[in-house]
A and B are shown apart, each in its own frame.
Chain A
């Protein structure tokens, strides 16, 4: 559930995530605010994992919303989860920033965050994800570690593992689908 402001009653009301997604897709003003409130923290955490900096992560979240406000048809409810879409946007925006700025801070470094915020890991989720990653084939696990956790480009992964870029693509795609089967309840699978 998310909260959305009803201007007629001047109160916040709970709405199902699907309703919020549809309102967001229609670019209704209140939906942007509700999405920011509901999903901003996860977006910021994701950007912070990539950038290791609270302020830069916050700017990423702002960048994403600004970009989406200016762009029509960026999101459709048929795509699926609005939260997943927004978190992915935040991650990709953070990667852009990282690649534009510097490659000196690898994503696997110990997290050191300036300011009053720290990035923590939920131990239960971490364990669940670790088990899912461990179930990947060796080749898939390697590309996930480099492309996802260390934010390397496909070309960099190919060089690092000394395999063709087409193989990197195939393994990464297969890995993500395998992780989906492990991490997301079967009932939610469309295929």
Chain B
């Protein structure tokens, strides 16, 4: 394909991922300059989307504890979490100051599968997101509350840290090798909330 030639049928083949790397690069170079061919690629992509519309992923069980379902039902809680935004901003504007729990959690969540649990108790509403392999825990408390966070494993108890105010919430992100079966929030010596980790 010459630089001044339109890509023709390669548009559909490109959308299908069927081209060799060199051909693919040539198409990308061309559509960066040619709106007509870019639009043809877009049309091919719309056709592929139409073919994919028949496929739907559904939860096999009623209890959905996955990122997507969680986001749908509790999106306000996830304001600090999902965005790729923090990641890209981090890439574009690297900081020398320590990263916030929010940033650390976003980075951790991008690379792993996680679940969540609600704290119950007399304290402020709170949740914990945690990696399924228990490599990290991210505690979010509604409002400004400096809670001590403890992890319990068997009979052992370990203080994981304290929640720190961040925007409209207070948060703690911690990487831990512990596989805790529950977390507890302490407001001084009073238990403010308990979350069971499954």
- Which bracket fits the contact residues of A? 35 or more
* CB-based contact B82/A33 at 8 Å: yes
- Closest Cβ of chain B to A61, distance in Å, is 9
Kindly state the separation between the CA atoms of A148 and B49 in the bound complex, as whole angstroms: 12
Asked whether, in the complex, the Cβ of A184 is within 8 Å of the Cβ of B47, the reply is: yes
Partner of B51, one of A78, A115, A122, A183: A183
Residue in A closest to B24 when the chains form the complex, CB atoms:
A92
B22 contacts A by Cβ under 8 Å: no
Q: Is A27 an interface residue (CB 8 A)?
A: yes
**B110, CB-defined interface residue at 8 Å:** yes
Chain A CB within 8 A of B35 CB: yes
Q: Encode A84-128 as 1/0 by CB contact (under 8 A) with B.
A: 110110011001100000000000000000011111111001100
Q: Is A125 a contact partner of B53 (Cβ separation < 8 A)?
A: yes
Main DSSP-derived SS at the A contact region: helix
Q: In whole angstroms, what is the CA distance A36 to B53 when docked?
A: 17
Question: Shortest CB–CB separation between residue A179 and chain B, in angstroms?
Answer: 5
A172 at the interface (CB under 8 A from B): yes
User: Which of A33, A37, A57, A73 gathers the greatest number of chain B CB atoms within 10 Å?
Assistant: A33
Contact A116 B82 (CB under 8 A): no
The count of chain B contact residues (Cβ–Cβ below 8 Å) is 58
A176 touching B84 in the complex, CB below 8 Å, given contacts A85-B45, A129-B51 = no
B25 lies within 8 A of chain A by Cβ: no
Complex Cα–Cα for A172 and B15 (A): 11
A20–B74 Cα distance when bound, in Å, is 21
11 A-B pairs (CB sep. < 8 Å): A41-B57, A42-B49, A45-B55, A48-B55, A58-B67, A116-B66, A129-B51, A180-B44, A188-B46, A190-B43, A191-B40
Is A80 part of the contact surface with B, judged by Cβ < 8 Å?
yes
| Separation of A12 and B83 alpha carbons in the complex (Å) | 13
Q: Closest CB of chain A to B104's CB: distance in Å?
A: 17
Q: Is B85 an interface residue (CB 8 A)?
A: yes
